[in-house]
Amino acid sequence: MFIEIMKTHSCPYCPAASRIVKKVADEFSDKVEVREIYLDEDQKEKERAIKLGIFSVPTVLIDKKVWKIGVPEEEDLRNEIKTNL
């Protein structure tokens, strides 16, 4: 499973989203890979985000599909991972 966190450096909520995603993903470390994407650094990723209809950060994608806009709850993410493994 592949989890992406789309974020920006100026976003006040993005660090919390990253912490939660990394913490939960560590529980499934052999099955989940996490990638952080800074939309304010990568024009190509910014264009991809726009094509996906992402206009807010943080946004969490699971296997290239938007799963959550905003800071996820640990238990929700844990359940989503378990459901999709």
CATH architecture entry for 2-84:
3-Layer(aba) Sandwich (3.40)
Residue pair 32/43 in contact by the 8 Å Cβ criterion: no
pTM of the model: 0.94
Residue pair 56/39 in contact by the 8 Å Cβ criterion: no
Q: Please state the length of the chain.
A: 85
pLDDT of residue 12: 98
pLDDT of residue 29: 81
pLDDT of residue 85: 86
Residue pair 72/60 in contact by the 8 Å Cβ criterion: yes
- Within 10 Å of residue 69's Cβ, how many Cβ atoms? 16
Mean pLDDT computed over 61-79: 97
Alpha-carbon distance of 39 to 44, in angstroms, equals 9
* pLDDT per position as a tens digit, 12-68: 999 999 999 999 999 998 899 999 999 999 999 999 999 999 999 999 999 999 999
